[in-house]
Structure formats: C-alpha cells, structure tokens
Structure 1
Amino acid sequence: MKDLNDNLESPFKLLVSFNKLLKHYEALAESDDEFIVAKARRVLKTADAFPILRDGFSDVSILKEREKEIGIILQDSFSPVLTKNEIKTASVPIHNLIFNSSERFKNIIKEAGDDFQLKIKNMPEDDKYIIACTIVLAFCYGFDINFKRPFYYEIPNAKGIMQYYKILYNADFTEIIPTKNAPKITQNDVDELLDNFDNIELWKEKFPKDSYTFKGFVISNVFNVTDDQSISNIKTALIGEEKRQNEGFMNDFHKIFQSLLGLKNIKVGFSIYNEEEDRFERVYGAEMNSFLLNDLESNSCSGTLCSMSYRTLLKDKKFYSVSDVDKYYELSKGKAPQYKTLKEQHIKSAIFAPIANEKELLGILEIVSEEPKVLNSINANKLNDVMSFIVTAVERSKNEEENLIEAIIQTECTSIHPSVHWRFKKEAKNFIKEQLKGNEPNFNKIAFENIYPLFGQIDIKGSSEARNSATRKDLSIQLTAIKSIVTNALQIENLPIYEQFLYQISTYLEGLESNFQVDSEQQISAFIKHDIDPVLNHLRVIGALKDKVQNYFNSIDNKVEGLYLHRKNYDDTIALINKEMAALLDKKQVDAQEMYPHYFERFKTDGVEHNMYIGESITKEDSFNPIYLYNLRLWQLQVMVEMENAFYLMQKSFPVSLDVASMILVFNQPLSISFRMDEKQFDVDGTYNARYEIVKKRVDKAYIKGTTERVTQKGKISIVYSQKQDEIEYLRYIKFLQSKKYLDDDMEIVELQDLQAVTGLKAIRVSVLYHKENNDKDFYTYDDLMKEIKV
C-alpha cells in the first residue's frame, strides 16, 4: 500500500495531519509555565521544518520518513513513562493502518506471531462506509446519529489463547472538510436515511466517494476485556438452539473457556442430572461430550461420584475441583469412580461445576485438561461470572425438551375434538405459510364467540367418607396383625420397647375408631415404616414368629407400602364407575353430534363431568338455530337420566356400594371460549363469562337457602339456573320426561344460598324413575330401587 486511500471506498479522502494537535501546542506556548512553553516550542519547531505534517498527507512512505518528527509531536500523547503499561495507538479511522503505538501494544502484536494481521473484528465493509457517513453528519451538519458500537481486536497471546481488546477512539485532533463534490445534506435526507440503514446505495448517493476530506488522526486507547468478552461470548453461544446444534459449537465453546481461564489445552463437557432417578445423563447434540460418563449414556450418581464429591456437587451445589487426578487416584486406591473414569481418559486435572438454580440441580459443567494442576480450586472461581448464563440456557433447554415431549404426547395421545379441528387446521396452515415466507410465525389464538355452554355431572356422593372408611378398615386390620406379632414377641423377649409399641398401637387403634384425622393415615404409615418394620425384620429370624411375620409381609402391597384391601375395593369401584359412565356418555355423544355438531369434552374425577359448547362459530356454517340448543339441552337431561339408571343397574357388581347425584348447570347467555395452549383445553373468555366457571366449580356444594341440605341429592337430578326463562324451558322438558316415566312427579323449585361472587341461583329438583332391568317396563323410585337391590 503506497497511499492511505488505495483500495478504500469511503466518503473520506484520508490525510494524516497534526494540525489540530499543533494548534493545541500553539496555545500552550503562551502558558505561564516555562517548562510547558519550552516543550511546546520544541514541538512546534520540529513541525515547522516539515509543513506537510500540518498540511496533511496520504503517502504512507512519509510516515516512515518523518517517524522521528512524528514521535516528537506525539510524545505527550504516548508518555514514555506509561508506554509499557498503556495499550495505545495512533491511526486514521476506518483503517487498519497504525503509525504509532505504545511499547505494550507492540509487544502484544509481536506475541501474536509473524503471520498475524491486525483487523477490527466487528466492522463489516458496508458498515464502514455508513459509520464514516454518520461521522460526517455529526461533524459537518450537527445530526447526531447514534451509531456508536464497541469495536474490538482479537489477538492471540504467546500461548495461542485468544485475547479480546476493546478500542476507544479519541477524535479531538481531526477535521472533516466537505469538498466541492459534497451534496448539501438536509433534514429530509436524514429522515430518509433513518429508514434505510441497509440501503448502502442510498448512503453512497448522499455521501459520494471522496466527497469529504478527513484531516488529522485518532488516538485509540485499547483495553484487555478478555474476561468480559468471554462471558459475553458464552452468553451469545448459549442463546440459540440452532447454534447449539452446529457442528462447530463445542469447538467454539472450548476456545471461549480457554480465553476465560487463560489455558490452551482444556475441554468442556456437560452432563444432565435426572433427579427422579438420581442419575447423570449424556447431553445430545453436535460434538457434546461428558467426561464424567465417558462412554456411558447414563450412570447412577453413586456410580459416577464418590460420597464427598456427590455431597459437594449435588447437596452443597459447590464447585468440585481435582488438581491432580493421578495423585487422588492413588490415594483412593482406584475406588473413587470419578478418578478412575478421568484417568481412563488421560485427564490430569478437572473442575466440575453444578448447574443449579434455587430449586434444583440441572446438570454438571465439566472442564478438563490433560495437564496436572492447571485446573484447581482457585481458577474454578472464575466460573462464578458465567454460571448464571449456563443455568439459564440449561433451564431453557430443559423447558424446550419438556415442551417437545409434551408435543409428542399431544400428537400421539391426544386428539382435538372433531367439531373444532377445522379451526386448528386453519391456523396451522397460516403458521406454515408465514414460516415459508421467512416471517416469524405465531400460532394465533383459537377462540369461538357467541356460543352457548352446557355443563353436567354425575358425582359420587360421600366419596371422601367412603375412602376414609376404607382407610380406617385397612389400617385397623394391619395394626391388629402387628399387635398380635408384637404381643407374641414380648412373650419370647421381655423387652420394654415391645410394651411401648403395644401402647402406641392401641392408641392408634382407638384413634381410628373415635377420631380419624386427615393426617392419621400418614402418621400411622410413618410409625409402621420407621418403627415397626425394622422390628418385624428382626423378628423374622426368631423361629417361632418367622411364619407369622412372613404372612404379615405377604399381605402388604409393595406399591402403597401397606395393607391395600378395602382401599383397593374403593379405588376399583371409583375406576369402574368412571369407566362405565364415561363409556355411556361417549356412546350417546355420537348420536348427539349427528343432530348438530358441537364441542364436547368430559373429565373423570370422583364421577364424570362434561362440557358442551354449541353455536355458529363452531360449526363454521350459516346453519345455527336456537332449536338445536334446545334439542341438546333435552338430550343432555335424557342422558343424565339414562346414566343414573345405568349406574344403579350395575351397582350390585361394584366392590363397594356407593351412590351418585346428578346435576345440570344452565347458563342462558352466550359467551366466548378460547383454547389455552398451556393447559390444552378451552376456557371461557372475559370477566363476566368467568362467572360461569366459578358457578361450575362451586355449585354442587351449595346449600338450599335457609337449610344445611345440599342441592345435589342421590336419586334426584338438580337443574341449577338463574333466569326465569330457563325455569320455564326446563319445566317443559321435565313434564315431557314425566310423561315418558323417566322422572317422578315430586318436582320442586328451591333457592340456593349465595355463593362467593354469585347470587340469585335457583334449582329445579326432581327424582329419577329407575328400571329394574334394561328391558323392564316398570318404573321405580330411588327408595323402591334400593329395596329391590337389597332383596
């Protein structure tokens, strides 16, 4: 390069000049300080001998010819006292040429090697032109376009480890002068440029090549920011899923940590912690490795770490370092699994850092080296600055994996109801279209407006009491069996502890009969597990009690860790009821959909409840008429009656005798629903509509006003509503079903006590008439049916 402007496309014509600096010395020459005056005059005398130093030049050879004079002029800016400490250069902007520098900068470049070429790292060629234009706008026209970006050098040190240097420019000694070819820039021009950053041709039109003269030089103060930049690079590397899948990701990651720790030959690995199984698992991805697992896909934590390292990493969540693997391998006699695994991989030192948030351990960051002592407990502390970014990335990856798993489950195991499938399909198509156009796609909200809800449930009455009763019976049988064994043991071994256990067992048995509490089951189970089981295991070796103890253990269910007889009968009964009621409802729904398409969903709890939504926006067609709503309401009432009949016909086959009560909730006003992506179900929209959800959750526990009687009763169907027109409508349906001998003649209308935030509810209650058999033409009341069943 002979001229600074060779092969340089820029609005600037560059001239190195010390004119503005020399003007500063002219002012200093008038100082009262004799020393300052003498020095200023010396600088000015040197410059006066070579006017080109003030006028400016672009011939690179002059920098060499006048090197001595330039050194004198810049002596104050490059203090000899600080030259081995400061990292400083003199240059021209948007150019890699440096014509003066401190000794420390020269040494840094020397260590980088003969083939190293200094270049500003993050300045694309097009950006150089635009940066120059923004400088012109500020200097010549007063438009301060904030395009300041931090610029860096990447320079390897003597060990080959990349170091990062931030550049700060001082432009106090520069002049920018428009040439006759420079177009006048107006506010309109600036406004246009603000919206066209990427239009390089527009910038070149407003600021033609060489239309301004840059006269002067810039001083660059350079700072080693390797630690900060390494942290930033780690953060950047962890941001995108795609980056983590790239082939070169781990190689780049190794280099980043090499810079952070100042060590050349180190490698980085990861292992994921599976809390449920207390295992370490391999991270899947391009070139991902785990030095704790070596060739294994996963391994138990106890099989991977010794007890001390296990406690440090998993319990205390602190760094665990091994400065000399061979030394500790010998000390542990090869029994500590982590030393054995590391030694097999020729690793000599290592740092293991727990990737943990406040709630849980997510995994382990593994940094290893084939050199001893280079990784240790001291430099492990440098990881404190980056662990938060790694934790965030692992949390995100964990969430992404869980979401992917959920997506697969939803795809393979869950289907969208056919009535609304068309809407999801439409949005999925829009999503794909936007993706193919290169846009950022969003799955738009799935919502349906102006639709009518229907809700019904057949609920098991007294389910909590039934389960408590089953629990009491199981615990009583189990404690009685234990009491018998301990009594025999006391006769064989007269130990006071047996007497204490017998007293505790008797206390629990009395409590089960008289005062069964919510936590009684947990207390007794804990007592048996921690106090009794060890004793029984001891008694197994006593010949006289061996068979009796073994028979006791044979009666215990391993899954629930207790006697599971009456509770199993209860659980089986609930499962059978839910299965049969849900199957009947699903079968009836097929016919209902043929009458008019609508949304339907059901849930199994202690019984079966269902939601239905009907309206124009769901069917997609201009066909909805209120008659379809009325028809669906009548259908629902009929099906509830049939479910009641079906339940009592099969009640005799249930292990436990339970009753059910049925309820329908009527909501007269249309509402809006939307699909909640997080819960994969539809919910109502809006504050007013939320009242419907509140009533659904609370109404079956409501009392009749002025009484302690629940609105839902066995043998009756309760229809809850708030509007007079709903009452008139359902009285018609009830009268019709009474004529068909589905319902009894004991219909009553009751007012309900106010619920929280809900007032004015009423209910129609009417008894169901039951068939003794499926083809039976006789009809029974609930009491009649119970008499028949007991016979």
Structure 2
Amino acid sequence: MNDINENIESPFKLMVSFDKLLKYYEELSQSEDEFIAAKARRVLKTAKGFPELREGITNPSDLVKREKEIRIVLQDSFSPILTNNEIKTASVPFHNLIFNSSERFKSIIKTAGDDFELKIKNMPKDDTYITACTIILAFCYGHNINFKRPFYYEIPDADGIMQYYKILYNADFIDITPNKNAPKITQEDADELLDNFENMELWKKKFPPNSYTFKGFVISNIFNVTDDQSISNIKSSLIGQDKRKDDGFMKDFHEIFQSLLGLKNIKVGFSIYNEEEDAFEHVHGAGMKSFLLNKLDSNSCKGALCDISYNTLLKEKKFYAISDVDKYYKLSKGKSPQYKTLKEQNIKSAILAPIANEDGLMGILEIVSEEPKVLNSINANKLVDVMPFIVSAVERSKNEEQNLIEAIIQQECTSIHPSVNWRFVKEARNFIKDQFNGTKPNFNKIAFENIYPLFGQIDIKGSSEARNFATQKDLTIQLESIKLIIENAFKLEKLPIYEQFLFQINNYLEDLDVHFQVDSEQQISAFIKQDIDPLLEHLNAIESLNEEVIAYYESIDENVNVLYHHRKDYDDTISLINKEMAALLDKKQVEAQAMYPHYFERFKTDGVEHNMYIGESITKEDSFNPIYLYNLRLWQLQVMCEMENSFYLMQSDFPIKLDVASMILVFNQPLSISFRMDEKQFDVDGTYNARYEIVKKRVDKAHIKGTTERLTQKGKISIVYSQKQDEIEYLRYVKFLQSKKYLDDDVEIVELQDLQAVTGLKAIRVSVLYHKNQDDKSFYTYDDLMKEINA
C-alpha cells in the first residue's frame, strides 16, 4: 500500500500530521518553567529536520522511516513510565493503521496471535462514512449532531478467552478543511440530512469522497471492559424473544460467562424449580442442559441436593460453590447427591446460583468446569452483577410459559373460533381498562344478532345396535370361558355353589341371545367382579385348572378388566370414522373461511355434526350480502357429498362395516347467539330462537309422515326445511350438483311427522353418487357401490 487512502471510501483525504501538536510545543517552548521549555525545544528540534511531519504523510512506508522521530514527538503522550500499563495507540480515525502504541497494547496484540486482525467491532461500513460526515458538520460548520457511540475491540487473550476493550478518542490534534470539490453545507442541507440517516446517496452528494482534508492524528485510549461488556452481553442475550430456540444461544452463553469469569473451559446449565412438586425440572430449548439433573427430566430437590446445599440454595438463596467435587464426594462417602451427579459427568468444580426474587426460588444457574478449584466461593461473587438480569429473564420466561399454557388450554379445551375472537379481545380490553380505572371490572355478554345458522351431520347408522351386538359377542365369549372352567372344577369338586354359578351363567347366556337389555352389561360385569373373580383366584391354585385360568386372564383387557375384542373393533371404527370425517371437514373449512369469514364448530358423537353462523355482526365489517349465505349453503351440501364419498372409500379399512347417513337442517330466519360462560360455548338466544335447537336435537330421529320409515337413510342426503322458498333454493343446488355427478336423479320431497313442539317440517331427499376410488370416473348409486366393493 503506497497511500493510506487506498481502498477506503471516505469524505476525508487522510494525512498523518503532527503540525497541531508541534504548535502546542511552540507555545510550551516559551514557558517560564525551564524544564518544560527545554523539553519542548528538544521536540521541535527533532521535528525541524523533517518537514513532512508538519506537512502530512500519506505513505505508510514514510511513517516507518520516521518511526524514531514520531516516537520522540509523541513521548509526552506515550509516557515510558506508563507504557507497560496504559493501552494506547496513535492512528488516524476509522483506519487500522497504527503508527505508535504503548508496550501494553503491543503485548495484547501479540498474545492474540499472528492470524488476528484488529477491527472495530461495532462499526458498520456505511456508518463509518456517515460518522466522518457528522465530524465535518461539527468541525467545519458548527452543527453538533450527537452521533457518538462507544466503539470496541474484541481481542482474545492467551487462553483464547474473548476480552472486550472500549476505545476513547482524543481528537485534539486534528484539522479538517474543505477541498475545492466540497459543496458548501447550508442550514437547509443539515436539516435534510437529519431526516435521511439511511440515505447514503444523499450523504455522498453533500460530502463527496475525498472532499475534505483530514490533517493530524488521534490518540486512542483503550480500556479493558470485559466484565461490563460480559454483563451487557448477558443482558442482551436474555432480552431477545425465543432465543433459547436458537442452536447458537447456549454456545454464546458459554463464551460470555467464560469472558466474565476469565475461564476457558466452563459450561453453563439451568434447572427450573417447580414449587408445587418441590422439584427441579429440565429447561426445554436448543442446547439447554442441567448438570444437576444430568439425564433426568426432573428430580425432587431432596433427590438432587444434600441438606446443606438444599438450605443454602432454597432457604437462604445464596450461592453454593464446590471447588473440588472429588474431595467432597469422598468426604460425603458418595451419599450427597449433588457430588455424585457432578462426578458422573466428570465435573471437578461448580457454582450453583439460585435464581430467586421476592416470591421465592425460580431456578438454579449452574456453572461447571472439568478442572478442580477454578470455580470457587471467591469468583462466585462475580455473578452478583449478572443475577438481576437472569432473574428478570426467568420471570419473563415464566410469564410467557404461563401465557403459552393458557393459550394451549384455550386452543385444545375451550377454543374461541378466530371469526369471533375479535369480540372477546374487545371485551377483555374493556375489562383491563376498568381494572386500571379502579372501577369494578365486568366481562360483558358476548352476543351476535341477525345471523343465519347452518347445521349438518354425517351420522353413523345403527351405531347403538352395532355396539350392543359387539357387547353381546364379547360377554358371550367371556361367560362361555368362565362356564368351561367351572364345569371342569365341578368334575373335581362336587360343590353345589358351582352348580349355582353355572345356572346363573346359563341364564345370562340365554338373556344375551334372546333379549339383550341396556342393563345386561352392567349386571353381568357386577356378577363377574363380585362372584367369579374371587372364585377364579381360588381355582388358580388347583394345578389341573391353572392353565385354563391363566388363559382366561390373558384374554381380559387389563385397561377395562373385561374381554374387549368386538367392542374394541366397534370403538376403533367409530374413532376412525370420526377422525377422518372431522379432518376432511376441517380441511374444507379453510377454503370456506377464505370465501367469507363465519363461525364454525364441530362435534364428534356417533358421527360428526357441525354448526355454522354467518352474518354482519360476526364479520365486524360492512360487507355481508345474502350471496355469501347462499354460497355457504351450496358449499355445505357439496362437502357433505364429498364426505359421503370419502367415507365409503375408506370403509374397507375399518375393523367393522358400518354405514352413514347425512342430513342438513335449513333455518330461514336470522337469529341471535350468545356465549355461555358456564359451558364455554355459543348457544341460541331467546325463546323464539330455541325452536332451532329443538329441531336440531330431534330431527335426525324423525319419520316420514304416515310411515315408520326414518328420514335419514344410508346412501342419501336429507335436507330438512319449513319454508317454500328454502325448497326452491335447495332444488336449484341439487340440480347443479346433479350436473356435476355429485347427486342422483331420484329427488323426492317428503313431509315429516310432527315433532314435540315442532310442526310443518318437510325434506328433500336424494341419493349420493359414489365412485370406487379417486381415479375412477364412473359414478355409482349406494347399492351399485356395495356390489362393486363386495365383488
């Protein structure tokens, strides 16, 4: 490099000059203090023979040539007496060129290693240019813009531990003058720049590169602020949101504590204190570890600590330092759990610091090393300054965790649908405002008026009969097994009680075969528990019956304590149907919400049913139009057809064969709903609207008027309504879906028998068209599909 300005974009043309310093010496040469005057004359005499020291130097090699003279000129600034203590350099600003330094600085750089490159840590490239401009504004135009920031060096020590050094500049010996190409800066220019910090083009327009001459040098006074910076880094690390999800978080945390304590090979861990359980728990996060728990997720405090460490940490809330783990392990004869756990991890010294506030202990900060005595009760006191930040971070983390827990509970147990969440938020804010204002807070009623309801269900046909049949089969098999064991026991011992049990079992078997009743299962289960189980315990001791009794117990499900085979197939089938149908409906709902927001909820029973409400009061916007209601009705009918198809495509995967029947309830008048706090769900408001709920609960059991035929049938969709205009509307939808091969041509309109408190209902009933698989383009009626599936 032949010029220090090479490869640098700056408004400055840099020149290293000692002219301003030498002018000070000219004044000092006239001092009345002869010692000071003589020294000043000696410096001036040295500089006299080298005019470039005043005129300015731009070639680094010239600085090397004049190294001896520069050292003499700077002797007062770089005292030989303090050179091994002060960290000081002479340089030009924002440049790595250093032409004079103290011995202490040289030693630090040498220790850092040959591959170390000295850079200002927190100076972005663009900020360097703008900082230089603000210096010009202050020096040349008197506009003092406060853009001062602390600058730092990060330099590793002999052990590789990062040390932090703060730089303070002395700019007493510089002159800045505008060159010919420097635009004059007006007040308007300065005002414009105040609002355009990020506009680099504007700064360069006002201060073109090399438009000002920087003549002089700066003295950098450098101070080791590792402790302060480590504390600041800990604070910064803990402030960030979701930092513990970052894989690099704990690595950075280790390095920060290494700098704070001046120790290379130390690690940091955490454990959270659960007051209810009086236990330590693992902190969940990337790279998080607890050395107190080792491989355990949790452990009681008494199981992790001895009495002394327990009292120190939990009761007194003081640091607990272990300088030599092996020594104290031997002294405790391996009985103190903390020494045993640490020794298993090859830890030789440790500091356990309680994370506590006025409410009590929240967790433990664990600092460990594989070297003995490097961690002890003395350097434990260095943690005093950082613990408040760790306490604050843990407090915030616990609050965030509690909020997350509440959010999960709300989502999984008492979910508020997104379409109405805004109304709950509004009331919650009013509640908080009342609390702050000192008035009695009241969570007002959440209600929505003039909204249109939609209801649909895909119901499993004959589910009660299927479960009764499965129960009959399971109980019959169980009773037959018991009967065989007792018959063999009677052959060995002619006890009348055996005959009585056999008589009772035969009666139960006959009842199961002839007239199974609702309470039959309960009666038989009570008989087995009270009479048969004690008997089998006795018979198990008889060698010839032992294998039979063991085989019987192996057939019993240990979770429900009954023979649970056919009933399990039934339960698994119901569960699979509900899971698959609900998943499909949820997936389709995402599309429907994108068309127009509306309230949606679904329930799993013996099948899946769903409620939807749509209207202006839910969307909160002046955007509702009846077209969105009609669209949602058509969407619902089409999705019900798709759910029917999906069910029969999966039917062969179910443990037992079941059928479904689909129904839609149309309610033409808008109604009101309100949120019932006690049941955590929405319900209709008012006596008139209650008619809708009555119809919902009873209509699926309705019969066609004048017959014993149930309205809902497998392979068909039933659309229940009461108004002629609803009939006209849905016949249009049916015709459209017939054109798309969703529905068959066998449309029928039927009247329903009167329900309790409900009269005048009618229904459109039409068969669904199916296909064998997703690639099959042919369509089938239900009967045709069953023939194809069973073929």
Question: Which TM-score applies when normalising by structure 2?
Answer: 0.56
Is contact 1:237–1:244 with CA below 8 Å preserved after alignment? no
Match of 2:279 in 1: 279
In the TM superposition, residue 78 of structure 1 has moved relative to its aligned partner by 0.7
In the TM superposition, residue 447 of structure 1 has moved relative to its aligned partner by 11
CA gap of 1:320–1:595, structure 2 versus 1, over 3 A, is: farther
Q: Secondary structure at the match of 2:81?
A: coil
- What is the distance in 2 between the residues matched to 1:299 and 1:418? 40
Give runs of aligned pairs for residues 148-297 of structure 1, distance below 5 A.
148-297=148-297
Is contact 2:154–2:163 with CA below 8 Å preserved after alignment? yes
In the TM superposition, residue 372 of structure 1 has moved relative to its aligned partner by 0.3
- What is the distance in 1 between the residues matched to 2:307 and 2:668? 66
- Equivalent position amino acid for 1:385 in 2: D
Query: What CA deviation, in whole Å up to 9, does each residue of 1:319-347 have, x standing for no partner?
Result: 00100000000001101111111101100
- What is the distance in 1 between the residues matched to 2:232 and 2:167? 16
Q: Say whether 1:600 aligns with 2:674.
A: yes
- What is the distance in 1 between the residues matched to 2:444 and 2:173? 64
- Equivalent position amino acid for 2:221 in 1: N
Give runs of aligned pairs for residues 366-377 of structure 1, distance below 5 A.
366-377=366-377
Q: Say whether 1:66 aligns with 2:66.
A: yes
- What is the distance in 2 between the residues matched to 1:170 and 1:188? 30
Match of 2:411 in 1: 411
- What is the distance in 1 between the residues matched to 2:393 and 2:33? 60
In the TM superposition, residue 18 of structure 1 has moved relative to its aligned partner by 0.3
Q: Secondary structure at the match of 2:175?
A: strand
Is contact 2:168–2:221 with CA below 8 Å preserved after alignment? yes
- What is the distance in 2 between the residues matched to 1:277 and 1:609? 30
- What is the distance in 2 between the residues matched to 1:406 and 1:311? 33
In the TM superposition, residue 241 of structure 1 has moved relative to its aligned partner by 2.5
Q: Secondary structure at the match of 2:263?
A: coil
In the TM superposition, residue 422 of structure 1 has moved relative to its aligned partner by 7.7
- Equivalent position amino acid for 2:329 in 1: Y
% identical equivalent positions: 73
Number of equivalent positions: 469
- Equivalent position amino acid for 2:219 in 1: I
Match of 1:302 in 2: 302
- What is the distance in 2 between the residues matched to 1:340 and 1:451? 63
Match of 1:129 in 2: 129
CA gap of 1:416–1:265, structure 2 versus 1, over 3 A, is: closer
- What is the distance in 2 between the residues matched to 1:51 and 1:224? 37
Query: What CA deviation, in whole Å up to 9, does each residue of 1:405-458 have, x standing for no partner?
Result: 11111111124389945867999xxxxxxxxxxxxxxxxxx9999999xxxxxx
Q: Secondary structure at the match of 2:117?
A: coil
In the TM superposition, residue 59 of structure 1 has moved relative to its aligned partner by 0.6
In the TM superposition, residue 182 of structure 1 has moved relative to its aligned partner by 0.5
- What is the distance in 1 between the residues matched to 2:171 and 2:294? 55
Between 340-349 and 183-192, the greater mean CA deviation after superposition: 183-192
Is contact 2:111–2:157 with CA below 8 Å preserved after alignment? yes
- Equivalent position amino acid for 2:189 in 1: D
Is contact 1:91–1:99 with CA below 8 Å preserved after alignment? yes
In the TM superposition, residue 292 of structure 1 has moved relative to its aligned partner by 0.6
- What is the distance in 2 between the residues matched to 1:119 and 1:366? 34
CA gap of 1:596–1:377, structure 2 versus 1, over 3 A, is: same
In the TM superposition, residue 611 of structure 1 has moved relative to its aligned partner by 12
Query: What CA deviation, in whole Å up to 9, does each residue of 1:592-613 have, x standing for no partner?
Result: x997544524455xxx999999
CA gap of 1:596–1:146, structure 2 versus 1, over 3 A, is: same
In the TM superposition, residue 242 of structure 1 has moved relative to its aligned partner by 3.5
In the TM superposition, residue 634 of structure 1 has moved relative to its aligned partner by 9.8
CA gap of 1:218–1:448, structure 2 versus 1, over 3 A, is: farther
- What is the distance in 2 between the residues matched to 1:124 and 1:106? 26
Match of 1:29 in 2: 29
In the TM superposition, residue 360 of structure 1 has moved relative to its aligned partner by 2.1
In the TM superposition, residue 46 of structure 1 has moved relative to its aligned partner by 1.0
- Equivalent position amino acid for 2:148 in 1: K
In the TM superposition, residue 394 of structure 1 has moved relative to its aligned partner by 1.1
- What is the distance in 2 between the residues matched to 1:189 and 1:57? 32
CA gap of 1:28–1:345, structure 2 versus 1, over 3 A, is: same
- What is the distance in 2 between the residues matched to 1:408 and 1:211? 62
- What is the distance in 1 between the residues matched to 2:425 and 2:278? 41
Query: What CA deviation, in whole Å up to 9, does each residue of 1:209-242 have, x standing for no partner?
Result: 1101100000011111000000000011111124
CA gap of 1:449–1:335, structure 2 versus 1, over 3 A, is: closer
In the TM superposition, residue 104 of structure 1 has moved relative to its aligned partner by 1.2
Match of 1:399 in 2: 399
Is contact 1:419–1:597 with CA below 8 Å preserved after alignment? no
- What is the distance in 1 between the residues matched to 2:680 and 2:445? 22
Match of 1:736 in 2: none
Give runs of aligned pairs for residues 429-444 of structure 1, distance below 5 A.
none
Is contact 1:417–1:600 with CA below 8 Å preserved after alignment? no
Query: What CA deviation, in whole Å up to 9, does each residue of 1:496-554 have, x standing for no partner?
Result: xxxxxxxxxxxxxxxxxxxxxxxxxxxxxxxxxxxxxxxxxxxxxxxxxxxxxxxxxxx
Match of 1:619 in 2: none
- What is the distance in 2 between the residues matched to 1:132 and 1:291? 50
- What is the distance in 2 between the residues matched to 1:373 and 1:360? 30
Give runs of aligned pairs for residues 332-481 of structure 1, distance below 5 A.
332-416=332-416, 420=420
Query: What CA deviation, in whole Å up to 9, does each residue of 1:558-582 have, x standing for no partner?
Result: xxxxxxxxxxxxxxxxxxxxxxxxx
Give runs of aligned pairs for residues 591-630 of structure 1, distance below 5 A.
597-598=671-672, 600-603=674-677
- What is the distance in 2 between the residues matched to 1:19 and 1:225? 33
Q: Secondary structure at the match of 1:53?
A: helix
CA gap of 1:421–1:230, structure 2 versus 1, over 3 A, is: closer
- Equivalent position amino acid for 1:600 in 2: S
Match of 1:480 in 2: none
- Equivalent position amino acid for 1:218 in 2: V
CA gap of 1:334–1:12, structure 2 versus 1, over 3 A, is: same
- What is the distance in 2 between the residues matched to 1:341 and 1:71? 59
Q: Secondary structure at the match of 2:118?
A: coil
- Equivalent position amino acid for 1:88 in 2: K
Is contact 2:91–2:220 with CA below 8 Å preserved after alignment? yes
RMSD: 3.4
- What is the distance in 1 between the residues matched to 2:116 and 2:388? 35
- What is the distance in 2 between the residues matched to 1:143 and 1:166? 26
Is contact 1:161–1:259 with CA below 8 Å preserved after alignment? yes
- What is the distance in 1 between the residues matched to 2:418 and 2:81? 82
Between 214-223 and 113-122, the greater mean CA deviation after superposition: 113-122
Q: Secondary structure at the match of 1:313?
A: helix
CA gap of 1:127–1:422, structure 2 versus 1, over 3 A, is: closer
In the TM superposition, residue 314 of structure 1 has moved relative to its aligned partner by 1.0
- What is the distance in 2 between the residues matched to 1:244 and 1:169? 37
CA gap of 1:334–1:449, structure 2 versus 1, over 3 A, is: closer
- Equivalent position amino acid for 1:128 in 2: T
Is contact 1:451–1:613 with CA below 8 Å preserved after alignment? no
In the TM superposition, residue 80 of structure 1 has moved relative to its aligned partner by 1.2
Is contact 1:13–1:211 with CA below 8 Å preserved after alignment? yes
Query: What CA deviation, in whole Å up to 9, does each residue of 1:230-278 have, x standing for no partner?
Result: 0000011111124322111111111100000011110001111111111
In the TM superposition, residue 95 of structure 1 has moved relative to its aligned partner by 0.4
Query: What CA deviation, in whole Å up to 9, does each residue of 1:712-768 have, x standing for no partner?
Result: xxxxxxxxxxxxxxxxxxxxxxxxxxxxxxxxxxxxxxxxxxxxxxxxxxxxxxxxx
- What is the distance in 2 between the residues matched to 1:98 and 1:130? 22
- Equivalent position amino acid for 1:90 in 2: A
- What is the distance in 1 between the residues matched to 2:263 and 2:355? 22
In the TM superposition, residue 143 of structure 1 has moved relative to its aligned partner by 0.8
Match of 2:45 in 1: 45
Give runs of aligned pairs for residues 641-660 of structure 1, distance below 5 A.
none
Is contact 1:417–1:599 with CA below 8 Å preserved after alignment? no
- Equivalent position amino acid for 1:285 in 2: G
CA gap of 1:426–1:72, structure 2 versus 1, over 3 A, is: same
Query: What CA deviation, in whole Å up to 9, does each residue of 1:131-189 have, x standing for no partner?
Result: 11111111111111111000001111111111100000010100001000101111222
Match of 1:84 in 2: 84
Q: Secondary structure at the match of 1:388?
A: helix
Q: Say whether 1:327 aligns with 2:327.
A: yes
